[in-house]
Amino acid sequence: MTPQELGLRQKSLSQAAPGIPVRLRKRLFVLMGLAREWDLRFENLLRTGSLGKWYSSVGNEAVTVAAAAALAPGDALVTLHRDVGALLARFVDPEALFPEVFEGGGAGPGDPVRRREAEEYLYRLACQMLGKAEGFTQGFDRSYHFGWIDEARRQIHVGMISHLGAMVPVAAGLALALSLRGQGGVALNFIGDGATSTGDFHEGLNMAAVWKLPLVLVIENNRYAFSTSREEQYACRHLADRAIGYGIPGRVVDGNDPVEVYLAVQEAAERARRGEGPTLLEAEVGRLRGHAEGDGSIEVVAEEELERYRGEDPVPAFERRLAAEGALSAEQARDLSGGLKSLLIGITDRARSAREPDPRAALPHRRVFAAASTELEAPERPCLAAAAPAGRRAEEGGATYLEAISRALREEMRRDPAVLLMGQDIAAFGGAFKATEDFVEEFGKNRVRNTPIAESGAIGIAVGAALLGYRPVVEMQFADFISCGFNQVVNMAAKLLYRWERSVPITIRCPCGGGTGAGPFHSQNPEAWFTHVAGLKVAAPAFPHDALGLLKAAIRDPNPVLFFEHKHLYRRSREPLPEGEVLVPLGRARIARRGAHLTAIAYGWMVHRALEAAELAAGEGIDVEVVDLRTLIPLDEETVFGSVRRTSKAVVLHEAPLTGGFGAEVAARLAGQVFEHLDGPVRRVAFPDVPVPFHKDLEAACLPSAETILAAFRELHYY
């Protein structure tokens, strides 16, 4: 397909853009002036010591205001730290604030209710900038790191995290949700030229193109990433040239011309609404400020170049243009300038006097987890009497661990149309382990989606869709590969609820563990990477019943859940499963075997090995109680501590490496909470601190075995 067939074109920056109505031009101008005055006011607060840091958007107003103004109600806006103009265009009515500029009628200019709403948004936004209690994040996150979703008012705004390119997959996820709704919604995302070098830029835009998602991605290219010039960032002439590689239109626009930007975004949005997929727009602007005020980065711009940018400054340039067209009188411009200053001085002075966050709000009142439904309060099944010898395939009869997972997915897909499945090869092929075999025939390609090899992109898209009410389940082909999507898990999904109180109901399935001779990149147990991150739930079932019930609970949970399912158990663990609903609440451990002399605490495959070792120990007169954690976060301290108080001794075992493994956390909590009940040290049995070797004999030498676990039981029993 040629560029001409794709409709690609690059517009000369000197070519005049078609016109738009005068009233709309005035709206753009007032909003650009408001954005400029906003920055100047906060720059002044920084200089006077009232603010610790400021990222200015001076010079970007024509891009951000015009692009957001081209959106329709119900569209989604994803912003970064230079995009205050977009927020103002989306949430502030300039005609209500400055009706004198819009003489000649209109939809109620000067309406006191609309004016009050505009002023209240500005006040709350100023409180956000200053970290006040009435800001959008109540002081729990900084400046433009916030979002505001009010679907009743058809307002969707998702703000940034500091890992800037990471917002592209999230914006694509919002676009996916809007596409599935079938109401013509579009997502608009801004990105700087520097962040286009990140992997998330590629993964998010590529997946949006493949799935023809209604996404408009606008690059604000000021030619510098902090201090790094464009020549040191990319080799192509224009960043929009990359669009052809994704099979989508790309276009360069004059970022100092709000009319041109507005029309370009409007055209891209209309294309997206027709189901034709994303568009990449590159808006070239001058760099009038450094990366952050006072960091010295503006000094990398040569004075001659800086003077040229000042001459192209979009705010005064657009004022001159409107004046030349007769659309704005000198008196209106003068009155507006004074009105903007007066408005924002009043707003920021009021915000500076607003109450500070109460330190007591940090803990325990600010939630890390959203409350789960009470429907998950399910009765517990009895403990096991014994276990099959480790490594032996399950006997015939009952369901396998893998069949239980497949059943959980199918039941939740049937129960809730908001459940979506995403992952590599999960559709027609049924997944690497066939957990989703035949799913696409029943649920269709909209709900069972093959993804490219793009873990970060898939997880980010899941986050965006979850923000608008969907419940995505993302399959990592192997748990090891989640490292490629680490940022989206720990910095995006995990922190959203705590930052701005929006839950993210995603489930990430992680086929994990060894015992199959798969080597160091297909055998890891990386659960401890995530137990350290507040806001993530982590489950690791050992038996089919729990795999079924926990996965169903995870999908229904309003929080991000990492679901570690052990590959070695897929077809080796089998048990009868009841008909009807099976739910196992997250955060509830289970006594898998009763005992009196010591407690073995384990999860996943190691529960089976602990049970086998316990049976061997019973032959030596050592009565071992086995606690199956099932969920690592939240940890069921009541069950764990209760067991150890009864037996007075504890062995903690897991398949992951010893150092930094989750067993260390369990041991530390036991030492801190039940020390007076202990009759011996807490012992740990784990994989040595080495990668998983490939040869099965080498791997077996490293894995905790029934014999090594039994040795630990003996040592502690006779301590």
| Catalytic residue annotation | 522
C-beta of residue 314 within 8 angstroms of C-beta of residue 257: yes
Distance of CA 60 to the CA centre of its chain: 26
Distance CA 97, CA 30 (A): 10
Which two structure tokens, joined as six digits, stand for 264?
Answer: 């370009």
Across 52-95, where does the E strand assignment appear? 76-78
C-beta of residue 209 within 8 angstroms of C-beta of residue 246: yes
Helix (H, G, I), strand (E, B), or coil: what is residue 200? helix
C-beta of residue 527 within 8 angstroms of C-beta of residue 620: no
Which two structure tokens, joined as six digits, stand for 375?
Answer: 């429907």
Distance CA 37, CA 60 (A): 13
Specify the amino acid at residue 520: P
Which two structure tokens, joined as six digits, stand for 350?
Answer: 């009021």
C-beta of residue 436 within 8 angstroms of C-beta of residue 430: yes
C-beta of residue 260 within 8 angstroms of C-beta of residue 254: yes
C-beta of residue 401 within 8 angstroms of C-beta of residue 565: yes
The residues, any chain, with a CB within 8 Å of residue 38's CB and separated by 6 or more, are: 84, 88, 344
Distance CA 85, CA 63 (A): 8
Q: How many CB atoms lie within 10 A of CB 296?
A: 10
User: Is the peptide bond prior to 364 cis by the omega test (within 30 degrees of 0)?
Assistant: yes
Would you tell me the crossing angle of helices 22-47 and 330-352 to the nearest 10 degrees?
A: 40
As to burial, measured by CB atoms within 10 angstroms (0-12 exposed, 13-18 middle, 19+ buried), residue 673 is middle
C-beta of residue 432 within 8 angstroms of C-beta of residue 425: yes
Q: What is the DSSP letter of 489?
A: I
- Please provide the DSSP assignment of 497-544 as one string: HHHHS-----EEEEEE--SS---TTSS--THHHHHTSTT-EEE---SH
Instruction: Find the angle CA(431)-CA(432)-CA(436) to the nearest 5 degrees.
Output: 25
Distance CA 335, CA 346 (A): 16
Buried b or exposed e, range 79-94, using 16+ CB within 10 angstroms? bbbbbbbbbbbbbbbb
CA distances (Å), origin 9, targets 183, 223, 249, 251: 29, 21, 8, 6
Count Cα neighbours of 61 within 13 Å in the Cβ-side half-sphere. 28
CA distances (Å), origin 610, targets 355, 546, 597, 631, 685: 55, 17, 14, 17, 10
Distance CA 411, CA 211 (A): 26
Of 36, 384, 456, whose CA–CA distance to 206 is shortest?
Answer: 456
List beta partners, residue 188.
77, 216
Of 564, 575, 517, whose CA–CA distance to 540 is shortest?
Answer: 564
Of 565, 583, 582, whose CA–CA distance to 573 is shortest?
Answer: 565
- φ, ψ (nearest 5 deg) of residue 661: -70, 165
C-beta of residue 586 within 8 angstroms of C-beta of residue 605: no
Distance of CA 535 to the CA centre of its chain: 11
